[in-house]
Amino acid sequence: MRLVNGTSRLLGRGQGTVAGGRVALGIDPDLVAALSAHRRVVLISGTNGKTTTTKLASAALVASGLAPHLVTNSTGSNMVAGHVAALAERPFDGLAVLECDEAYLARTAAGTGAEVVALLNLSRDQLDRSSEVRKLVSAWRALLEASSIGVVANADDPLVVAAARGARSVRWVAGGLRWRLDAVGCPLCEGRIAFEEAPSVRWRCESCDLERPAPSVEATGGGDALVVVVDGRRLVGSLRLPGAFNRSNAAFAIAICACLGADLEAAMTGIASVEEVAGRFSTVEIEGVPTELLLAKNPAGWGELLSLVTEGTSPVVLSINARIADGLDPSWLYDVDFEQLAGRPVVVTGERRHDLAVRLHYGEVAHQVVAEPAAAVALAASLGDAPVVFIGNYTAFGDLRRLVR
Amino acid sequence: MSTLRICVVYPDLLGTYGDGGNGLVLQRRAQWRGIEAQLLLAPSTEALPAAELYLLGGGEDGPQVRAARQLLTEGTLASAVGQGATLLAVCAGMQLVGRSFPGSDGSIHQGLGLLELETVRVDAPRAVGEVVVEVTAPSLAARSLPPLTGFENHGGRSRLSPGVEPVGVVRSGVGNGFGGTEGAVGGRVLATYLHGPVLARNPGLADLLLSWALEDDGLASRVLDDAPIEALRAERLG
């Protein structure tokens, strides 16, 4: 396994994890079950925040002392190949914290005999592959109603609540939901979901009994401060990852720790230690230009990141691909409010830069188009003050990271 | 003419595939020619507003059934089209302006009947991928539209009744799934399976709809700077 991963890295074919998993699968198809047999397994799934929450939960569990041996697929390889690669690490007992693709959750839960599953959110993503987000709701629901798996779920997302409320044991997290377009129609009946912000955050279906459950885990704070309230207990710490969405991810990580019976004060120190997630949120040098790296894969994720980015004035590079892992249809660019970048220096790149350029053309956002990502960053650096902010979708982000020496 | 009203119908039900972008494209292409254009996003919770140009987009099976039922009950869209309004119907939108379409459980639902076509389930994989269409509809011949490009993502297949014009023939991709045709056109109603959004990728089609809605055949002669779109088209048409 290590040899294969090393070879993949040497060949420059990626970060090594997926190739290793595929080779292992060729040897034994029941490997996931065999490698999980003596482990406590946590699965983390949802459209956005999987990789970050997996990293935060792993750091928190290690810091809590609960997990002398913890394995995780920290690089975002979230299907069976990535799981096998993570689980192949010795020793074969202890904890496994695995990010899991939404569509593979049921079979992965069965294969690993997972103890806890965390469900972050569901919204449109890769429609050419999963086509309908509501089909994921049905698949999750069937899984959870048929098992005694412990569930940590987002109380603010009607699709997640519809999937999880029939589970035997659920810890509800006030996980937030900025993107609501996929949740306005009730996933259980033909009704409409009414959202309310004041006097308190709540939502309910106007036609059936689906409504926001009372959360028992909630994160607040501003800047680097992080306060997580779990079952009425207040934990104070810090978080180095930016944005409200990352505070929600931290709340999920602590909720997972609570499910496993970890020391939560110690877990908060683990959360505070996380500086970047598979390169995301880190500042690197691209051919001498300090560049802040951000990854957004779908309209919900882009909305979160653009709201973060518009607080600044530095030049922005946007990079879009449409490979299988990204979703083949970039029509979703029209669901993203790129208009808020008007007035900023903007450079577009990536394999589908022309689709993005047309989107910005119609959004009346002045921009320049550059084929090569490194050249795009260099041009952006000449248009304003560093660091340059780079936002790419999944494979576009990977392409840029390969330029980091 | 006063302000052109462009109405995106039920973006909360039929906004899954980015087709709302068609509204933005139409609004800008009108405004850039000095025509006042208003973009109305009409959620299904409210009565459909009056407009010269309506847009139906793609959506999931359940919301599609709901949209069809509500549009049938309310009747505003059909009567607007009857009085000459222009309509672009994409994917689920195309299916629901036909006579009938299947729900996710296989039951048959009544469509608006604005185009004589019926959508059926077939024992074939979902049609997903890039599409190129040669425009052949006799009623569009005078416009000499270049090939259309887009992205399709649909399970159902749509059979046109005899005498109904398809928009064109498929050069690559699946399209309607019968006879190599794609889309349908009748009067000022144009239906297609193409996302992209289709009007972002095909400015000629956007201008055609604007000229119908504005009753202005000279519109396209006021040329816009389409350089970014031509670069995209060159790439997509290979």
Smallest Cβ–Cβ distance between B18 and the set A131, A328, A334 belongs to A334
A127 CA: distance to closest CA in chain B (Å): 8
Chain B interface includes A231 (CB < 8 A): no
What was the pLDDT predicted at A400?
95
| Chain B residues near residue A331 by CB distance under 8 angstroms | 17-19, 21, 151, 195-197
Q: Domain segments of chain B: what residues?
A: 4-237
Residue among A134, A184, A331 whose CB faces B197 most closely:
A331
Residue A222 has a pLDDT of 84
Domain B4-237 part of CATH 3.40.50.880: yes
Cβ-contact A27, A39 below 8 angstroms: no
Secondary structure string (H, E, C) spanning chain A: CHHHHHHHHHCCCCCCHHHHHHHHHHHCCCHHHHHHCCEEEEEEECCCCHHHHHHHHHHHHHHHCCCCCEEECCCCCCCHHHHHHHHCCCCCCEEEEEECCHHHHHHHHHHHCCCEEEECCCCCCCHHHHCCHHHHHHHHHHHHHCCCCEEEEECCCHHHHHHHCCCCEEEEECCCCCCCCCCCECCCCCCEEEEECCCCCEEEECCCCCECCCCCEEEECCCCEEEEEECCEEEEEECCCCCHHHHHHHHHHHHHHHHHCCCHHHHHHHHHCCCCECCECCEEEECCEEEEEEECCCHHHHHHHHHHHCCCCCCEEEECCCCHHHCCCHHHHHHCCHHHHCCCCEEEECCCHHHHHHHHHHCCCCCEECCCHHHHHHHHHCCCCCCEEEEECHHHHHHHHCCCC
Using CB atoms, pick whichever of A132, A335, A358 lies closest to residue B18: A335
Mean of the per-residue pLDDT values of chain B: 96
- In the block, residue with structure tokens 């979708």: A393
The region, left, alpha or beta by phi > 0 then psi within -120 to 50, assigned to residue A52 is alpha
Question: Residues A175-215: pLDDT tens digits?
Answer: 988 888 888 888 898 788 999 987 788 999 999 999 999 99
Tell me the chain B residues in contact with residue A332 when contact means C-beta distances shorter than 8 Å: 17-18
Q: Give residue-wise pLDDT tens across range A101-152.
A: 999 999 999 999 999 999 999 988 877 666 578 889 999 999 999 999 999 9
In this prediction, residue A217 carries a pLDDT of 98
The Cα B166–Cα B181 span in angstroms is 6
CA distance A87 to B200: 46
Query: Which mean pLDDT values do the consecutive 10-residue runs of chain A (405 residues) have?
Result: 39 43 54 92 96 97 92 85 90 94 93 96 79 86 94 97 96 91 84 86 94 96 93 96 94 98 97 94 93 93 91 94 94 96 97 98 98 97 95 96 84
Average pLDDT, chain A: 90
The answer to whether residues A80 and A104 touch, using CB atoms and an 8 Å cutoff, is: yes
ipTM: 0.97
Q: pLDDT averaged over consecutive 10-residue blocks of chain B (238 residues)?
A: 92 92 98 97 94 96 91 97 98 98 92 98 94 96 94 96 97 97 98 98 97 93 95 95
Residue pair B83/B52 in contact (Cβ under 8 Å)? The answer is: no
Chain B residues whose CB is inside 8 A of the A359 CB are 21, 200
Nearest to B21 among A181, A328, A331 (CB): A331
C-alpha distances (whole Å) from B59 to each of B40, B95, B100, B195 are 19, 11, 16, 11
A132 contacts in chain B (CB < 8 Å) = 16, 60-61
Of B119, B101, B25, residue with least CA distance to B62: B101
Nearest residue of B to residue A129, measured between CA atoms? B128
Q: Does A385 touch chain B (CB under 8 A)?
A: no
Q: Scanning the structure block, which residue is given the tokens 């490194």?
A: A374
pLDDT for position A405: 62
- Report the pLDDT value the prediction gives residue A384, as an integer from 0 to 100: 95
